[in-house]
A = this chain, B = another copy of it.
Amino acid sequence: MGQTTILVVDDDREIVGAIAKLLELEHYTVLRAYDGLEALEALHTHDVQLMILDVMMPRMDGLSATMQIRKEKNVPILLLSAKTEDADKIAGLAIGADDYLTKPYNPMELVARVNAMLRRYLALGTADRSAGRDNVVTLGGLTLDLDEKQLTVDGAPVRLTATEYRIVALLMQNPGRVYNAEEIYERVWNEPGYSVENTVMVHIRRIREKIEINPKNPKYLKVVWGLGYKMEKVQ
C-alpha cells in the first residue's frame, strides 16, 4: 500500500496546522487548503484519499464545497462544524459527507474517525473480504492463521503471546527477509526502537522454544550474524 494523502481545509490556519500535525504523527501525508476553491484545486492536482472540511468558511463554505466535490470525486469527507445545531442539519441533509465532528473535538477522536473511515473506504476497493476464504501463511511445517491468530507446528497448535504472535507474523509474511532487532521492534511495537536489542532477543528465544525441535539449532527462525533474524524460506 502506498502513502495515504489527506486534505485538510479550514480558513483558520492554526486549526489546519494542528490537525496536520496530528495526522502526520500517524504517518499520513497532509495537504492544506484555506477555502473551498483552494480545496477543489488541490483535489484536481493530487491523489487524495480523504478530506477534512470545515463547514464555516469564506468564499465557498463547507457544505457547498461538499456538494461540489461530490459531483466530481467520490473521496470520503469528514466535516467539522462549530455548533451542535449544524450537526443535526448535516445529518438531516445527507449531503454526502461520510462523517462529522463538532468543535471542539477531541484530537484522539479525530484520529480514530479518520482511521476508521480510511479502513472502510480502502476496504471497499478490495474484493469481498468479509467471511469465507481464509487468511493463512505456510512455511514448511509452520502454518499461521491470521484471522484466528493461531500458529500450528506440524499440525499441532502452539500458544503464542501477543508480542510473539506479532513477531512471527512479521517474519512469516516476509520469509527469507532479514530484520534487525531495531526493525522488528519498530514494526511490532510501533514505536522507535532504541537499545531494545535484548528485549527482542528474549522474545525470539521464547518463540524458538515453542516452534523449534532444537532451539539451539533452529530450523525456521534463524539468526544472520551481525544483521538480524529471518524465517527460513523453505518448500
Contacts and interface: CB of A to CB of B under 8 A. Distances in A.
Contacts of A107: 70, 74, 96
A92 to B, nearest CB: 7
Interface residues of A, number: 68
A224 B192 contact: no
Nearest to A145: B176
A72 interface: no
Contacts of A218: none
A98 B82 CA distance: 12
A148 B176 contact: yes
B106 A192 contact: no
Contacts of A202: none
A80 B163 CA distance: 29
Interface stretch (A32-40, A112-120, A209-217): A112-120
B225 A112 contact: no
A158 interface: no
A1 interface: no
A43 to B, nearest CB: 16
Interface string A183-214: 00010000111110000000000000000000
Contacts of A70: 107
A206 to B, nearest CB: 14
